[in-house]
């Protein structure tokens, strides 16, 4: 029998794999186990002549291979070998959004964020899987050097169950930098909350599962600080949020400076657009746009929309003049699926 890597091999690449070949007879059992007890899955050929691992190896790990084969004469033979995978220059970690157990809105993309630059994008994409029940068509797109997102062709359907696997253990994400762990997340798609903010008419029309359930008077960004047009997705929700204009580059001596705590804040862009309670502008809500770019409404209306919303819900902005920048939030829905999938 031939076992690869050979016994006592060191600095083995995790993606080199483990294989066993029998020149005569049949392989009856192969066990590949890491020092920490992790077992490596594999497939045995129909004729019993070869075995190959199907699960990734981890970097900086020691593995033991135990093989049992049966010769043509019926006599069992066993072979044991040990090898070590290379210790990389660095390890790459990744986080998944949505997190395990979440219920999200119909516009939520799958977001994989790495803690270092990814240069081997094709290898990484092969290690990422999105499985939906019922099945949906979708595609990955890199939104930066450290992030890749997956979106379905159309908005998710309510009730869809989704499983994400980032099988990055043993994947060289950049030269000398390897993934060490496999991440998974299971989440579900909740009710279809899709709101439309008419910037010119100063209204937010809220639809649940296609039916209008509420029309809310709002105010959006005033001239010079206009709210962006486009399809946005709720990124996060906070019952209270401190808004300090200094974080957006406004100096404290500017007449546009503000620093206050708002209620029922739901983030839509990384640049600082939120939907939130703005009791100070109730007189302008439904009549004029007077905010610094956020969508303001009465405290009662903000409490209502907050209670009925979740991360991943869609908020479409229409009849505005300022364009939403690609990547300023979850902006996947502002381009065609063909463009998304073929970037």
pTM: 0.90
Instruction: Write the pLDDT tens digit of every residue in 111-161.
Output: 999 999 999 999 999 999 999 999 999 999 999 999 999 999 999 999 999
* Overall CATH class of domain 90-189: mainly beta
Confidence of residue 219 (pLDDT cuts 50, 70, 90): very high
Q: Which two tokens stand for residue 201?
A: 């008419």
Q: What is the mean pLDDT of residues 102-111?
A: 99
Q: Give the pLDDT of residue 262.
A: 95
pLDDT above 70: percentage of residues in the chain: 100
Q: Give the pLDDT of residue 249.
A: 80
CATH 3.30.750.210 fits 193-334, yes or no: no
Residues with a known catalytic role: 276, 294
| Residue in 93, 5, 96, 8 with CA at minimum distance from that of residue 53 | 5
| Residue in 231, 218, 230 with CA at minimum distance from that of residue 289 | 218
- Which residues 6+ apart lie within 8 Å of 197 measured at CB? 203, 204, 218, 220, 227, 295, 315, 316, 317, 318
Q: Is the pLDDT reported for residue 186 higher than 90?
A: yes
Q: Which H or E run contains 307?
A: helix 299-307
Domain ranges within the chain, ordered by starting residue: 2-85, 90-189, 193-334
**CATH code linked to domain 2-85:** 2.60.40.3780
- Is 193-334 the same fold as 2-85? no
């Amino acid at each position: 029998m031939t076992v690869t890597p050979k016994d006592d091999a060191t600095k083995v690449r995790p993606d080199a794999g483990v294989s066993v070949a029998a020149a005569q007879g049949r392989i009856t059992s192969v066990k590949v186990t890491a020092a920490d007890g992790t077992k490596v899955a594999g497939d045995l050929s129909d004729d019993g002549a070869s075995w190959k691992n199907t699960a990734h190896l981890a970097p900086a790990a020691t593995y033991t291979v135990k093989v049992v084969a049966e010769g043509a004469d019926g006599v069992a033979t066993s072979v044991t070998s040990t090898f070590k995978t290379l210790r990389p220059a660095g390890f790459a970690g990744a986080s998944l959004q949505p997190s395990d157990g979440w219920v999200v809105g119909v516009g939520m993309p799958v977001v994989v964020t790495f803690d270092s630059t990814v240069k081997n994008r094709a290898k990484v994409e092969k290690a990422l899987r999105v499985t939906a029940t019922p099945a949906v068509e979708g595609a990955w797109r890199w939104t930066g050097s450290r992030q890749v997102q997956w979106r379905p062709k159309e908005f998710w359907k309510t009730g869809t169950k989704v499983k994400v696997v980032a099988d990055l253990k043993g994947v060289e994400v950049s030269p000398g930098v390897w993934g060490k762990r496999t991440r998974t997340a299971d989440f579900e798609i909740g009710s279809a909350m899709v709101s439309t903010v008419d910037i010119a008419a100063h209204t937010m029309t809220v639809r649940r599962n296609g039916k209008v359930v509420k029309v809310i008077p709002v105010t959006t960004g005033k001239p010079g600080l206009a709210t962006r047009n486009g399809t946005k997705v709720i990124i996060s929700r906070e019952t209270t949020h401190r808004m300090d204009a200094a974080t957006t580059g406004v100096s404290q001596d500017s007449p546009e400076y503000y620093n206050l705590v708002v209620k029922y804040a739901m983030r839509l862009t990384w640049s600082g657009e939120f939907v939130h309670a703005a009791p100070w502008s109730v007189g302008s809500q439904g009549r004029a746009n007077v905010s610094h770019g956020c969508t303001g409404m009465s405290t009662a209306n903000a409490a209502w929309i907050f209670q009925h919303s979740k991360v991943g819900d869609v908020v479409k902005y229409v009849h505005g003049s300022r364009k939403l920048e690609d990547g300023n939030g979850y902006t996947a829905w502002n381009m065609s699926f063909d463009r998304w999938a073929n970037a």
